[in-house]
Structure 1
Amino acid sequence: MCLGIPGRIVEVWEENGTRMARADFAGELRKVCLAYLPDLAVGDHILAHAGFALTRLDEQEAKATLELMREYAIIDAPAADPTTTGVTK
């Protein structure tokens, strides 16, 4: 079974002509390709699978999905706030 995981974009850059991002997934930072959603920006919430951002989520959807995944033990991560985790000012 394959799952899309909700995350929050914390950094965006271009790499070899493709927009890339670093996203925070329940406290874990991962590199994500934005080829399918090139207009995403820092602070946007996404659903990602296999290193690709596939869907834009609103903040409420992202939080609800993470909580449900924790409840059903799909992910084993601390209850990090996806709206603030990994953000540096």
Structure 2
Amino acid sequence: MTEENWKRISLDEIRRMKDAGEIHHNPDAPEGPELGDEFWKNAVWEPPRGSTSVHLKLDPEVFDFFKRQGKGHITRMQDVLKAYVKAHQGQ
């Protein structure tokens, strides 16, 4: 899921949605397993890193290929680069 699919709302808006019956809650939904202290003992939270802004020269045909696919061409280029890195990290 990407941020473009996210909708940010306030706590007041969540409460309004709950009061209006717009938020579904199944009281019969099963509880998840209890994860005890041993599970959390070595847990580590790493805050998300921000993006690094760079100036990048591309061959015109490369840029045009992605641009012709429409909105989101920069994200698609980033996805290709991520896939390349992932494929080559195991080598």
Task: Compute the TM-score of the two structures, normalised by the length of structure 2.
Answer: 0.23
Between structures 1 and 2, the one with greater helix share: 2
- Higher strand fraction: Structure 1 or Structure 2? 1
Q: Highest relative contact order (Cα 8 Å, sep 6+), 1 or 2?
A: 1
Q: TM-score, normalised by structure 1?
A: 0.24
